[in-house]
Amino acid sequence: MALEAGNRGVRMRSMRWVATAFVVLQAWGGHAGAQVEQVGAGTLWLAPKGKDKPPPAAPLRTEALQRQAAPTSQWYSTLIFNPKPDPIYAQPLTFRTTPAGFEMALPVKQVVPTERQDVEIHYPHRDALVFAPAAFEPGAARLAKVSDWAIDIEMARGEDRLLATVAHGSPYAYFQLSRGDVRVTLPAPGERVADADPRVLVLRVGGRRYALFGPTGVRWESASPTQWLGRLPAGSGYFSAAGLPDDKPETLALLARHAYAFVQDTRVAWRYDRAAAKVESTFTATARVMEGADHGPLLGLYPHHWHDNASVAGRLGPAYDTVRGPLKLLAAPSFKVERSWGGFVPHWPRLPDGPRLAEFNDHFKRDLRRRRDLIPARENGDDWRVSVYWQGKGLTRVTQLAAIAEQQGDPDARDQLLRVARDRMEWWFGGQGKRSYFHLDKRLGTVVAYPDEFFSVEQMNDHHFHYGYWIRAAAEIALRDPAWAAPERWGGMVDKLVADIATAERGRADFPYLRNFDAYEGHSWAVGIGGAGEYGGLGNNQESSSEAVNAWAALVLWGEVTGRSALRDLGIYLMTTEVEAINHYWFDLHRIVFAPEYKNVETSMVFGGKYAHNTWWTDEPRQIHGINLLPIAAFSTYLGKDPAFIRRNLDAMKVESEAYVKRGRFPPNPPPADVWQDIFAKYLALADPAAALAQWNPRGSVEDGDTPSHTLHWMLSLAAMGTPDFSVRADTPLYQVFRKPDGSRTYLAFNAGQAPITVKFTDGRELVVAPGALGRAP
């Protein structure tokens, strides 16, 4: 997670191409005999140094899952760390395990006023039904099985077992009992709604409707106004339970038809179609039919699944009102989503001659002179920016300047800057720092970095945020120094960071599958332990969606530069999908997610059960808006998808800032009044470069991952080329098209390979690009 200088506070936020040799070394610094793992030229410590604490244990898993790396940073991760876990938000239903049994609820919207004079939208886990075995007391909950968007939760005691299966988008929870009957406890007196099928119990409870679907021969008996018993016949210890989106008979009939197809496995398969510049994701659920005909599962599609998706048009049924907007039911075992790959290039070309080129050159000379100060000093006294997050932001500054120097025809400056970046990365990767080092925890299945900041070790937070900066910086070095990136040198250490956040193989023992990424929600989660009560019981969350995109862009570059198309394609899938989710759930570009009571233009914090316009460390509006923009680099053109939204967003920030000043509630160490003004100038330039250049203050605030040189280069480039044009695609991964108001276009493509390529754009333009070069037309 991130926070900028002067505003420090708490904010939550696959490959195996690694040449690894395990050795036991006589260690230095009071750690004699400590074990380390050599990874190429780098070193991973196998135990924390000194008084550093290890990552948390995740004991609440079955024996089979204990043999796999722990799935941290997921929507259900609270289950494996906390004996009293938070609710889990599956959408449309919520669940919670308690000593009394398994809770299930259908959340309803709550509009919560704030001291910021706006509102948050909550869909909390409240007024739950509780399912429990009548013949035995359920044991402590343990995670028993994981697939791409479904999980099994076991509550066993000896030979007795209650097993619940829940899934994203599913209107059901599926239950299996080892013996006996089921007891259902209601939060308030419930009214039974008549149904012709004796297997079905429909209840109206506090304005919400639920349906329970038992096996043939079940008897539903009322024990009290708030308790029912399901008498399950011998050998048929199963039932499903659903929340109903409405009171229509046809909706109940639909859910009854599919209630006995118990989801067993879920999987998302992705494919990057290079020729068409498309990403296709196929979602497949496998079900076991418990009785009757095989009608298949019933899936709930989120807005980013069904919006602008011709393959499901006309096939969708009833919709649930959820924190993610309308969740629509599809009676099918699978569906596909196809989105365009918008592309990006590692860097932009040389600036043309112009009236501000001399100004740019002056800024660049100043930034070059202070190149060693652009990365916070390593282990420098009480400087709190020694953590891997701040170091990564500094590496971004330096490598972006190196790319600019190269394009401007200054190889000496480029080499000086790259040397600074290489030296710092090698020092960290070498493992010889007293406070700053990487630790491989084989028990949990992770690489963590010390010193711990933002609870990246203690709570396993923000790994994709932190490591994304490092992977992208490494890719920039590798573009110019391939030998440095070889696995027997420093590439092996980079690949460990890649594996920590983006292992694409399921069920491994060393790292979990896509640690932070939620394949069904389409975005990442930041909190490693999944929530622990201190977040108000509203599930996991992610604040800085833009830093997640930074990580996936880094995978694209690292994979392409090192010649691994599978990793590149994984990055393309993750980036494309996360951007689509951001446009729905953070920015609501299509106006179908945010509640009418929610007046903010965007949301800066997305939780399992709420969205809010705030940050973890401040309610100052500029930082609230900026945290989902930074870092702004060549991959950030996705932010220019809707120029009108950019203007609305910045106009709203201005109004909010004026109100914030009038409230007068400033922190003890307030930020500068123009905090992150460079970020907002770059953001505005995606819609109006001239206005951005007029707005930017060369002597104003500079965000910790940026420089005046890069900011001015960004704006002058857009002024020369135009704003991003997403109507034209290309048959190569690294490309970008820009369009000026007069309709003229600039075409860019980067060739990371060893031979020339001819890039074909969908408007008929072709561009020949030399090896290792950025091509431009005209």
Q: What is the set of active-site residues?
A: 462, 543, 547
In the chain, the largest separation of any two C-alpha atoms, in whole Å, equals: 85
Residue type, 268: V
The span from the CA of 703 to the CA of 689, in Å, is 19
Cβ–Cβ under 8 Å, residues 549 and 198: no
The span from the CA of 165 to the CA of 360, in Å, is 59
Specify the DSSP class assigned to residue 524.
Answer: E
Q: Which of 549, 707, 532 is nearest to 628 (CA)?
A: 549
**Rg of the chain on CA atoms, in Å:** 27
CA angle 38, 42, 47 (to 5 degrees): 60
Specify the DSSP class assigned to residue 624.
Answer: H
Cβ–Cβ under 8 Å, residues 253 and 551: no
Q: Which of 745, 744, 692 is nearest to 715 (CA)?
A: 692
Q: How far is CA 91 from CA 171, 345, 444, in A?
A: 8, 36, 28
Cβ–Cβ under 8 Å, residues 398 and 371: yes
H or E element in which residue 426 lies: helix 411-430
In the sheet with 278-289, reading across from the earlier edge strand, the strands are 261-273, 278-289, 334-340
The span from the CA of 661 to the CA of 655, in Å, is 10
Which residues, in sequence order, are CB contacts of 563 under 8 Å at separation 6+?
752, 753
If one counts every other C-beta atom within 10 angstroms of the C-beta of residue 483, the result is 10
Cβ–Cβ under 8 Å, residues 134 and 124: no
The span from the CA of 99 to the CA of 79, in Å, is 13
Residue that has been written with the tokens 């009102």 in this structure: 321
97 three-state secondary structure: strand
The span from the CA of 150 to the CA of 140, in Å, is 20
Cβ–Cβ under 8 Å, residues 191 and 173: no
Contacts 24+ apart (CB under 8 A), 394-397: 394/424, 394/704, 394/705, 395/421, 395/424, 395/425, 395/469, 395/470, 395/473, 396/469, 396/472, 396/473, 396/631, 396/633, 396/705, 397/705, 397/706, 397/707, 397/710
Report the 3 state secondary structure along 320-386.
Answer: EEECCEEEEEEECCEEEEEEECCCCCCCCCCCCCCCCHHHHHHHHHHHHHCHHHCCCCCCCCCCHHH
If one counts every other C-beta atom within 10 angstroms of the C-beta of residue 244, the result is 22
Strands 182-185 and 101-105: unpaired
Strands 278-289 and 238-244: unpaired
The count of residues in the chain is: 778
The span from the CA of 594 to the CA of 587, in Å, is 9
